[in-house]
Structure 1
Amino acid sequence: MLLAYIYDNLDNIVSMLTNSQVGMVYDTLRLNDPKSPLYGRAIMEIKLRRLMDEEYMDFLRSGFRQYGIYVEDYVLRTAVNRLDGIIGWLTLFGWNYVHGNKDLNSIIDTAARDRKLRVILMKSRAEGRYRVMLRTIAEGPRRWSEIKRAVEAEEGVTVDSHNFRPT
C-alpha cells in the first residue's frame, strides 16, 4: 500500500486523510486489522465539532470571496441544508460553483452518489454496532446516551451524535 511505503520510507512527507466520519477512515485503511499494511503505525486524529449554521455560511462566503464571487445567501443556505452541513460536500459545492456549475441539483446528485458508496462501506461496521446495541439493551433498560457510549467504547472512537440518534 502506498501510504505504508510513504510512512516507512519518506521521512519528509506527511500524509493527511480527512473524512466527516473517522470510522470511515479506520474501515477504509483497516487500521485495526493486523493484516493491514498500516496496522500499528502511529496516527494522529484531529477531531472537530460540527459547525453551527452561520459558521457554514461564513465558510462558504469566505471561499467565494477568495475567488471574488458573491453568492446570494439563499443559495448558500439551500446548499447547507441540502448537503447536511458536511464540509466536504460544501467544498464540492463551492468548487463546482466557482468552476461554472451553478446547478445545485447536479452537485447534490454527485454528493448523493458519494453517499451511496459511503452507505455501502459503512454496512460492515453497522452490523457490529447493532450487536453492541443489542447486547447493551439486553442487560436492562438503557438511555440512548448509554447505548451510544457503549458503541463508542467498543469501537474506540467518538460517534457523532448527528449520526447516532433514534429515528
Structure 2
Amino acid sequence: MLFDPTPKVDRKDFFDREKEIEKLKRLETPIVLVLGLRRTGKSSLIKIVLNELKDYLSIYVDLRKYEEKNTITYRDFLLDLQNEINRLGKKYNKLIDALKNIKGVKILGNEVKFSWSKEERFSFSSLLDSLEQTGKSVIVLDEAQELVKMRGVNLLPSLAYAFDNLKNVKIIISGSEMGMVYDFLKVEDSSSPLYGRAFSTIELKPFDKETAIKFLKKGFEELNISFNKEEEVYETIGGIPGWLTYFGFTYYQTRNYEESVRKTLEYAKKLIYREFENFLKPRYIAKERYYTAMRTISNCASWSEIKRSLEAKEGIEISDSEIYNYLIQLLKHSWIVKEDDKYCPSEPLIGKTFKT
C-alpha cells in the first residue's frame, strides 16, 4: 500500500523509482552512493534492492540513532556491526567460519563478539576481508554522514582497501546531508585514501508536481477513496514522498481534508524542529543566529538580506566570514539550497516550519 507509513521492502509498494532500483541493483562501482533529502525513500530503496539481491549476503548498519549524539566511538560502530551479524544467525555460517582466528573476534556458538580494546581491537578491514571470503556481499552504511562524528578510528583506509582489492564486496553509503557525506569521504582531498575514486551515485529527488499528483491518485485508488484535491496537497505540502504518504494515511483515517493537512503540517514541523535542534547541538553558541538565518531564508533571501537580519537582531556588526560559515553549514547539512543568488529552504515544509 502506497500510504503505508512503514518502510517498504517490496518494489510493488514503492512508487516511481524503477530506474533508481535497477541502477542500484547493478552495483556498478565498489562503493555506491544513495543520496537525497530526508523522507525521499532512500532506506526503502536500499531495502528493496537488498531483498532482490538473493545471492548476496547483506549487512545493514543504520546510523540514524546517532543523530542526537555529538560523537561516535569505534566501540559504538563495532557493536552495531556485531549485532547485525548476530541477527543474521545461522543463515551465514560461512561468515562465522571466515571470522574465526581473526584478532579481536570471539566465537560463542553461532554468535560473534568483537573486541574494541587497544590490544585486541577488531579492525573493519578484517570484516571486509571475511566478507570477501564468504562470497558476494554488500554492506550498507545508512545515513553515513553521522560517521563524521567518529573519534579514534578512520574508516576511509578500509573503504579504499575494499574499493581497490575486494571483488566480492560492495559498499552502499547513503545520506540525507549530502555535503556531509562528501565531507566524510573526503573525495576532493588529495591526502584522502578515497581521493580520485569514481563512485556510482543515485540521487532521490522530491516528486515534481505531476509525479506527486499521480502518487496521490494511485494511493487513493488503492484505498477505493474518492479524492480530487491532489494539486492542492502538492501546493501545500510539496513533493517529499514521506510527507505525501503521511497525508494520505491521515486522510484515510479522518476523511477530512483540512484536518489531514493540519495534522501533516503539525507532525512535519515537530519533526523538522527536532532534527534542527540535533543539528544545533554542536553549534549551540550560535543557536539564535542559525534560527534568525533560517527565519530569513524561509521565504528565500540573498546574502545581504541574511546579513542585515542577523545584524538587526543583535544590533552589532557580524563579519562576512561568520555568516559564510553559517550558510556553509546549513548547505552541507541540506537545510538550505542556493538558487542563483538566493538561499532557499531545501523543501517547502522546512520553509513553513521556520516562518512560524
Q: Name the TM-score class by shorter chain.
A: 0.5 to 0.7
1:67 aligns with 2:223: yes
Distance in 1 (CA, whole Å) between partners of 2:141 and 2:226 is 30
- Alignment-derived partner of residue 55 in structure 1: 211
Unmatched 5+ stretches in structure 2: 1-75, 92-137, 160-170, 175-201, 287-319, 345-356
1:8 aligns with 2:85: yes
Hey, which of these two has a bigger chunk of strand by percent?
A: 2
1:95 aligns with 2:249: yes
Deviations 1:41-70 (A, max 9, x none): 954335212321110111111111111112
Hey, which of these two has a bigger chunk of helix by percent?
A: 1
Q: Confirm or deny: 8 A CA contact 2:144 2:173 kept in the other structure.
A: no
Seen in structure 2, the aligned counterparts of structure 1 residues 96 and 34 have a Cα distance that, compared at 3 Å, is same
Letter in 2 for 1:100: T
CA RMSD of aligned residues (A): 4.2
Q: TM-score of the superposition, structure 1-length normalised?
A: 0.57
- Alignment-derived partner of residue 130 in structure 1: none
Of residues 21, 32, 40, the one that matches 2:148 is 32
Distance in 2 (CA, whole Å) between partners of 1:108 and 1:95 is 13
Q: TM-score of the superposition, structure 2-length normalised?
A: 0.30
Count matched residues.
Answer: 136
SS at 2:203 equivalent: coil
Shift of 1:7: 2.8
SS at 2:226 equivalent: coil
Shift of 1:92: 0.5
Shift of 1:106: 2.4
Unmatched 5+ stretches in structure 1: 19-24, 128-132, 139-146
Q: Percent identity?
A: 18
Distance in 1 (CA, whole Å) between partners of 2:227 and 2:220 is 7
Higher relative contact order (CA 8 A, sep 6+): 2
- Larger Rg belongs to: 2
- Alignment-derived partner of residue 239 in structure 2: 85
1:164 aligns with 2:344: no
- Alignment-derived partner of residue 141 in structure 1: none
